[in-house]
Amino acid sequence: MTYAFKGLMVLYRLTEGDALATRKRREDARQNIEKMHDSAPGFQAHVGNKVGGGDRISMIVTRVNQDEFGPGNFGINGQAFLDGNDSLWVVSVQEGDQPGQWEAITNG
């Protein structure tokens, strides 16, 4: 088990639900960008490259939840950086190699 702390950069593996929600936000932005451009000057369109379930993306730890999954088994929250101008807020995830989990960065 890797020790986690605020500010640590890790890899998060997207779930299919994460990828689907990201694609939906980006498609909604694409379809409404002209309308929003004129009526909402602060509108931030979500754009970026393709995402899929199982993709590993960089995430910075923003909170460590001690013993969240039992004694000595913590969870983390963080901001996962998508390949675009948007990000994904991830909460209560465990270390592991499955979608919806995080793992340490072991090499560049």
pLDDT digits (tens, 9 = 90+) for 23-34: 898 887 777 776
Beta strands in the chain (DSSP E): 9-13, 56-65, 75-81, 87-93, 102-104
More confident position, 44 or 9 = 9
* Whole-prediction pTM: 0.84
**Cβ pair 62, 79 in contact under 8 A:** yes
In whole angstroms, what separates CA 54 from the centre of its chain? Answer: 12
- The yes-or-no verdict on residue 106 having pLDDT over 90 is no
Sequence-separated (6 or more) residues with CB below 8 Å from residue 14: 22, 51, 52, 53, 54, 55, 56, 57, 80, 88, 99
Least-confidence region, from 7-16, 36-45, 46-55: 36-45
Least-confidence region, from 26-30, 61-65, 87-91, 99-103: 26-30
More confident position, 91 or 49 = 91
Task: Determine the average pLDDT of the residues in 70-93.
Answer: 93
- DSSP per-residue letters across 10-37: EEEE--HHHHHHHHHHHHHHHHHHHHHH
DSSP state for residue 59 in the 8-state scheme: E
- The yes-or-no verdict on residue 1 having pLDDT over 90 is no
Question: How many whole angstroms separate alpha carbon 89 and alpha carbon 79?
Answer: 5
Question: How many whole angstroms separate alpha carbon 56 and alpha carbon 107?
Answer: 14
